[in-house]
Structure 1
Amino acid sequence: MIQPDDKILIVGAGCFGLSTASHLLNRGFSDITILDKAASLPAADAASYDLNKIVRTSYDDVFYTKLAQEAIAQWKTEEWGDTYHECGVLVLGHSDDKHSYSSQSYVNDISVGARVAVVENSTEIRNKGMFPDGVRVASLQNTAGYLNYDGGWANAAQGIELLTSKIRARGGKFVPGKEVCRLVRNAEDGRTRGVECCDGSVFDADLVIIAAGAWTASSFPQLQLKEKCLATGQSVATIQLTAEEAQVYRRCPVVLNFSTGFYVFPPNQDNVVKMALHAAGYTYVPQQHDTSSPSNDLGISTPRTISNANENGLRIPKVVLAQLRAHLREVYPDLAEKPFLGTRLCWYNDSPDGDWVIGFLPDDPAVMLATAGSGHAYKFFPVIGKLVADAIEGKLEPLLASKFAVDRRHSDVDRSRYGQTVEVLHLDSLCTPEDLRP
């Protein structure tokens, strides 16, 4: 059993790593070191270090609905300042199929007492005051859903910066620029006693927590995690508004359409509108001559970002850029005529069923996995580390321990995604600056 004075080493300074460190400090653990491959922190490549993330209770799994409700209560506390913005989330894609993702989400929202307003058709969406005066909303044909007032968005980068600062102030240690390449194990019993970095440095630990996000499978190829943790690139685009334009759109809800995967935020503090597709995404396996990945000969999908592909790491497939503009036109036709400011491939670590991976390696009680956010971890940032801390202390409810187990059987798929076919990223298909124009 891990003790509060044991040496804890966390690999990854993203959502899982930071939240876990914070909750362990809350429980009296005093020797916590966080390693990250980024040269400076917060890591610009991390999926969690972003303009904004949706905060919603609308899940077809009531466990996440209830946990999101708990997280929102924490987001609203003084500890998080103005990180969270409760503008509401318009959940589209409602259908007559009571087993559809959005229909079951509605049932779960009602079961926890969420404030919702049902819209049966596109006319009601436009006429029920869900968008402020002055915002021209498109026809939204064949679309129904509901507005969940108990949700909105979080300034993702601000939250990461805030918790990083708090962990430092409480004695947590950060070591940037350390890319971990392998676990170091005792020859006698095979138990992990630390990690070795690509520069040859070794860090000893009583417990190693792997919270490396989309780099998990490729950084630790010896663990053979690629069937449990898949790095997928998700396409994001932004539009710059003037201050006057942003003022008109700022009171809009987050729009999330489960039928198409498209979602769009209201403008942030810099008057930038972000949109994306919640889809199966793209995988990328570096070529043999690319030595940036230690697993490039094992067929393991590896993030391609600005740190290992320069500015080209921000480009998304041209076909998806066109899809984003078409979907935006179906919501905000005026914005769809503006040029894109930029794009980004945001790299998720996906599990086959969309549930997180939280648990000890079956053959090594000195290694805990806390990963596979599957595109829906950040909204739980204030509380997700509690689950990891419970697992470390042996307090995680048995049903949850099974739900998140490393060696669980995957009998379901992530039904929140648009499409279930993951595509291979081809570099010759990426957009160019010319494609950003309408």
Structure 2
Amino acid sequence: MVAQKQDKILIVGAGCFGISTAYHLLARGFTDVTVIDRSDILPAPDAASTDLNKVVRTSYSDPYYTQLARDAIAAWKDEEMWGDTYHESGVLVVGSRDETPYASKGYENDAAIGARIIDLPTTDAIRSVFPAGVKLGGFNEVSAYLNKDGGWAFAAQGVARMTAKVVEMGGRVEAGVNVTGLARKDGKTVGVVCRDGKTIDADVVVAAAGSWTASTFAELELGDRCLSTGQSIATIQLTPDEGARYREVPIILDFSSGFYMFPPNQDNIVKMAIHETGFTSYIVNTDGGKGISTPRTVTSHGSDGLLIPQSRAKMLRTKLGAVYPELAEKPFSGTRMCWYTDSPDGDWVIGYYPSDAGLVLATSGSGHAYKFLPVIGSVVADTIDGTLDPALVSKFAVNRESVKIDLSRAPAARQDLAGEVFCTPGDLLP
């Protein structure tokens, strides 16, 4: 299954996977590349790739992702392409490596690629990497290391800049196109069907609809292979003086609890979140069946789509207090559920759909796709033109057997939002 450069490529989804794929196909000489997206506004305001900011790290337990992240960081530093999207603040990985196997392997892989690592075995050592004016929590009885080769990226800005580049290169990007399923002939995908009844023809369809992939293409019955899950995020608005004081702190990343936090952005907003198994949101079928987990966002639920579970608002404040006690006394300025598509093993799903030469899946970012925005499309392009390493074909195959679990996440059972109490304005207060 190999696409030709003159083939009509239709990419469904203008987020991280989709827009990067378009860019890399055009760079290889593909001449007919179109990206469509359900959102009337691009980048889509409720997409994970349009979040406030994203961690850029090489600290992975899998050496493949470590090296690819290193390649991505090198690309992020091209200011002509990305402007000030990437900020190399450093990433502070907190927690005992003896107790957190993922962090231990991440450290080994960082060291193996020659990352600029500083071991921080004591509380005083950890404190030394923060600006003098920042009040810190205990950091007692923990060790850490600082990887200076990493930081964070302005999420929406990165997608917007790559989208502009795709258009400049001759690609087409169309907003407000709501796809409801696939058009097939003799068992092969030949396009997509839209809500208005229109069919868009294509030689190859790339399903890259992020956390809407499983619900958009329900006929594929993707199940847990591409499961939509929501992650809880909160923000705090700092004053200009506070923003200046905290500006040079590193990313904080605790693999044992899943808590992570950013320096303030240009608007003096700090974001924090918990990287965990997340929450599902099933839409009940007309026949009363369970249905497919589908994002609950500001687009589908208005302002209610921004609410996170009350339990996670409390958890975020507790974790914040242990790191920055001064900031824990400030109200949250906002919350958001950030929706991922997860695979059982945490590896991406990138590949031709079995026995269908007209359909490629590029999804299941599993909470770690955005940092690869400059390069992830090259993996999908390798798949499309048949040049992907066979080992990676197997690693990312749609129908692979998952033999491992994703150890990067906090070990909590996945829950459904239907059983949760959402935060109220009072829950945003200290």
- Distance in 2 (CA, whole Å) between partners of 1:164 and 1:177 is 15
Deviation at 1:95, TM superposition (A): 2.8
Deviation at 1:123, TM superposition (A): 2.9
- Distance in 2 (CA, whole Å) between partners of 1:427 and 1:164 is 38
The answer on whether the counterparts of 2:284 and 2:291 sit within 8 Å (CA) in structure 1 is: no
What's the % identity of the aligned pairs?
55
Hey, what does 2:34 align to over in structure 1? 33
Secondary structure of residue in 1 paired with 2:352:
strand
- Distance in 1 (CA, whole Å) between partners of 2:93 and 2:84 is 24
Hey, what does 1:3 align to over in structure 2? 4
* Deviation larger for 262-271 or 189-198: 189-198
The answer on whether the counterparts of 1:286 and 1:296 sit within 8 Å (CA) in structure 2 is: no
Hey, what does 2:133 align to over in structure 1? 134
Hey, what does 1:12 align to over in structure 2? 13
The answer on whether the counterparts of 2:87 and 2:153 sit within 8 Å (CA) in structure 1 is: yes
The answer on whether the counterparts of 1:283 and 1:302 sit within 8 Å (CA) in structure 2 is: yes
1:195 aligns with 2:197: no
Aligned ranges 1:302-313 → 2 under 5 Å: 302-313=294-305
After superposition, give the CA deviation of every residue in 1:251-277 in whole Å (9 maximum; x if it has no partner).
Answer: 000000001100000000000000000
Secondary structure of residue in 2 paired with 1:228:
helix
- Distance in 2 (CA, whole Å) between partners of 1:56 and 1:231 is 23
Deviation at 1:287, TM superposition (A): 4.2
Deviation at 1:198, TM superposition (A): 1.4
Hey, what does 1:112 align to over in structure 2? 113
- Distance in 1 (CA, whole Å) between partners of 2:351 and 2:122 is 44
Aligned ranges 1:374-393 → 2 under 5 Å: 374-393=366-385
Hey, what does 1:51 align to over in structure 2? 52
Secondary structure of residue in 2 paired with 1:429:
coil
Query: What's the TM-score once normalised by structure 1's chain length?
Result: 0.96
Hey, what does 2:250 align to over in structure 1? 253
Secondary structure of residue in 1 paired with 2:50:
coil
* Deviation larger for 232-241 or 40-49: 40-49
* Deviation larger for 26-35 or 249-258: 26-35
* Deviation larger for 394-403 or 279-288: 279-288
Deviation at 1:212, TM superposition (A): 0.6
Secondary structure of residue in 1 paired with 2:71:
helix
Deviation at 1:171, TM superposition (A): 1.7
Hey, what does 2:91 align to over in structure 1? 89
Query: What's the TM-score once normalised by structure 2's chain length?
Result: 0.97
- Distance in 2 (CA, whole Å) between partners of 1:103 and 1:90 is 14
The answer on whether the counterparts of 2:283 and 2:290 sit within 8 Å (CA) in structure 1 is: no
Secondary structure of residue in 2 paired with 1:146:
strand
After superposition, give the CA deviation of every residue in 1:200-231 in whole Å (9 maximum; x if it has no partner).
Answer: 11100000000011011111111010120100
Consecutive unaligned residues of structure 2, counting only runs of 5 or more, are none
* Deviation larger for 142-151 or 279-288: 279-288
Deviation at 1:420, TM superposition (A): 4.4
Deviation at 1:157, TM superposition (A): 0.9
- Distance in 1 (CA, whole Å) between partners of 2:90 and 2:117 is 9
CA-atom RMSD in angstroms: 1.4
After superposition, give the CA deviation of every residue in 1:363-399 in whole Å (9 maximum; x if it has no partner).
Answer: 2011000000000000000000000000111110011
- Distance in 1 (CA, whole Å) between partners of 2:320 and 2:149 is 24
1:183 aligns with 2:175: no
Secondary structure of residue in 1 paired with 2:264:
coil
The answer on whether the counterparts of 1:285 and 1:296 sit within 8 Å (CA) in structure 2 is: no
The aligned amino acid for 1:227 is D
The answer on whether the counterparts of 2:284 and 2:290 sit within 8 Å (CA) in structure 1 is: no
1:216 aligns with 2:213: yes
1:415 aligns with 2:407: yes
Secondary structure of residue in 2 paired with 1:426:
helix
The answer on whether the counterparts of 1:84 and 1:154 sit within 8 Å (CA) in structure 2 is: yes
- Distance in 2 (CA, whole Å) between partners of 1:238 and 1:415 is 26
Secondary structure of residue in 1 paired with 2:196:
coil
- Distance in 2 (CA, whole Å) between partners of 1:112 and 1:342 is 38
Number of equivalenced pairs: 428
Secondary structure of residue in 2 paired with 1:235:
strand
- Distance in 2 (CA, whole Å) between partners of 1:211 and 1:95 is 35
- Distance in 2 (CA, whole Å) between partners of 1:94 and 1:263 is 16
